[in-house]
Homo-oligomer: A and B are copies of this chain.
Amino acid sequence: MTRPSEDDLIARYFAPLAGEGAFGLRDDAACLSPRPGYDLVLTTDSLVESVHFLPDDAPGSIARKALGVNVSDLAAKGAEPRGFLLNLMLPDNWTEDWLSGFVAGLETAAAEFSCVLLGGDTVKTPGPLALAITAFGEVPVGRMVRRTTARVGDAICVSGTIGDAALGLALRKTPILAAGLGFDDAAFLADRYLHPRPRHRLAAALREHASAAMDVSDGLAGDLAKMMRASGASAVVELAQVPVSTAARKLVDVDGALLHRMVTGGDDYEILCTVPPTRLDMLRKEADRVGIPIAVIGQVIPGDDKPVFRLGEVERRYDVGSYAHF
């Protein structure tokens, strides 16, 4: 079978997506500089088939996820997306149909997130499809929001709802769980697993009002533990305050144990941040303005224990995250 060369492939599929500084993808490198008064924020995430997405996921969904998870990191750092590089490792059995779908999804996501393609690399692999995206954002100099700077007494907030993606994945693996859910609710949860909605419109508000932030990608419990450890603090969370979607609520009402899966499962791509109490109203107002719900779920407390999750009288410390095998 004759395959297009890497150059042909770049010209046909990727060059139309190229942004300023990419030289039409006809060079070996790209050029990017922050505007005067801004720092460049760098983040990178790899995705491997069967680990980070499923083999039968639509190629456009995979592309969207790959870019979305990186833009989600930028958002949590208070950075506005600028551009990205794509490393694509294609197994021998790739098809032009697959690649067309992938590029179409990438184009839509890049436009939605205002993050242009700057360059990349396409290679063959004898193994599963894998890809990495490196994304670049801008923050005013010195204003990147850190994850190590939560302070005792700060409120702990999350955007959106938690646990939908974990349930969406569970439904795909165990369809019987969807019994009792309507089609729309099941579709909503499935979509939340497939299609991260990075909260880049929250970036400016986080810069102004958050003391620390990260995105929730490996599960709320593990990520909060990570942030607290990095900040030299602990936390208490009221499970009843953790925001849950209508669809997820229906499942939890039937099986309360699912709540634990929801706070330990990954792929939320919501913002987890700590906010000084005096700033809380201002953050809420800004979040309202951009249409992103924010909920207070707990508080930063002194100590070095893992965060406590309370539900009524019951307290629980999740042991996830620290032994994540990868």
Contact = CB atoms under 8 A, between A and B. Distances in A.
Given A29-B77, A125-B51, A7 B322 contact: yes
A43 interface: yes
Interface of A: 2-3, 5-7, 23, 26-34, 38-48, 50-52, 73-74, 76-77, 79, 85, 87-90, 118-128, 130, 132, 134, 136, 139, 141, 144, 146-148, 214-215, 226, 230, 321-326
Given A79-B29, A85-B42, A148-B23, A127 B128 contact: yes
Contacts of A130: 89, 125, 127, 130
A31 B119 contact: no
22 contacts: A3-B325, A5-B321, A5-B324, A26-B148, A27-B144, A28-B147, A29-B42, A29-B77, A30-B41, A31-B42, A31-B144, A33-B39, A42-B136, A43-B119, A44-B87, A45-B121, A48-B89, A50-B126, A51-B126, A87-B87, A89-B130, A130-B130
Top-5 shortest CB links A-B: A127-B127, A29-B43, A87-B132, A124-B326, A46-B87
Nearest to A79: B29
Nearest to A133: B87
Given A29-B73, A29-B79, A87-B132, A325 B43 contact: no
Given A33-B141, A76-B28, A134-B134, A146 B23 contact: yes
B28 A32 contact: no
Given A43-B119, A126-B128, 5 more contacts: A29-B42, A47-B123, A85-B134, A123-B326, A125-B127
Chain copies in the assembled complex:
2
A323 B1 CA distance: 11
A47 to B, nearest CB: 8
A56 to B, nearest CB: 16
A1 B14 CA distance: 42
Contacts of A144: 27, 29, 31
Nearest to A124: B326
B326 A46 contact: no
B132 A121 contact: yes
Nearest to A321: B5
A7 B226 contact: yes
Contacts of A26: 147-148, 230
Contacts of A32: 39-40, 42
